[in-house]
Structures are given as structure tokens and as C-alpha cells.
């Protein structure tokens, strides 16, 4: 992995983490305010949302190494957590290897 790709990836990963967390928090807030469900039902729903978000967070962001960067960027891109213009400056080789399937 080129040094320039690594530096750019670190920035993208940090931005994507913030976006992921903002989305998860918005989902949690929405779940808390569903008045058609009992308090207990909302609690259980929120618990499942947090559990699922935690699993996704782990898959997307756990481990920070060059060996995991390609796979992580592919997942981050497939989740829509990075804009195309934010990928500018990365090598074509790295971008092609991280295109979501």
C-alpha cells in the first residue's frame, strides 16, 4: 500500500466513523420516540439496534492496519459512508481494489 493511500485512508476512516455513529445515534433516537410501542418494547428494540450497530461498527472499523485497510475501505464504500470526491488523491490501483461489489 502506498504511503499516500494510507494517509488518505486514515482520514476517510475517521470521517466514515463519525458518519456511521451519527446515523446510529439518529436511529437510536428515533427508536426511543416510537410512542406506539411500550417502554419495554422500545427498550428491547433499542437494545437490538445497538447490538446490530455494534456488530457493523466492528466489521467496518475494528483494527487499524495497512493489511486491513483495503477490506475496510471496500466495506466503508459499500455502506455509503464516503463520498466519491473524498477519495480523490488515492491511487487507481487502491480505488479499483476497494470498489464495492
What is the C-alpha separation between 49 and 86, in angstroms, rounded?
Answer: 29
Residues 40-52 pLDDT 10s: 999 999 999 999 9
Residue numbers of the domain that contains 71: 3-97
What is the C-alpha separation between 7 and 94, in angstroms, rounded?
Answer: 13
pTM: 0.88
Residues 52-96 pLDDT 10s: 999 999 999 999 899 999 999 999 999 999 999 999 999 999 999
- Tally of domains in the chain: 1
Contacts 24+ apart (CB under 8 A), 94-98: 94/1, 94/2, 94/5, 94/70, 97/70, 98/70, 98/73, 98/74
What is the C-alpha separation between 12 and 17, in angstroms, rounded?
Answer: 8
Amino acid at each position: 500500500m502506498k504511503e499516500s493511500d494510507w494517509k488518505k485512508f486514515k482520514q476517510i476512516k475517521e470521517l466514515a466513523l463519525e458518519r456511521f455513529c451519527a446515523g446510529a445515534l439518529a436511529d437510536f433516537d428515533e427508536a426511543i420516540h416510537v410512542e406506539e410501542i411500550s417502554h419495554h418494547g422500545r427498550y428491547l428494540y433499542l437494545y437490538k439496534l445497538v447490538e446490530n450497530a455494534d456488530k457493523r461498527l466492528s466489521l467496518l472499523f475494528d483494527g487499524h492496519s495497512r493489511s486491513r485497510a483495503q477490506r475496510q475501505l471496500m466495506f466503508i464504500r459499500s455502506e455509503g459512508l464516503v463520498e466519491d470526491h473524498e477519495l480523490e488523491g488515492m491511487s487507481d490501483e487502491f480505488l479499483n481494489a476497494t470498489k464495492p461489489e
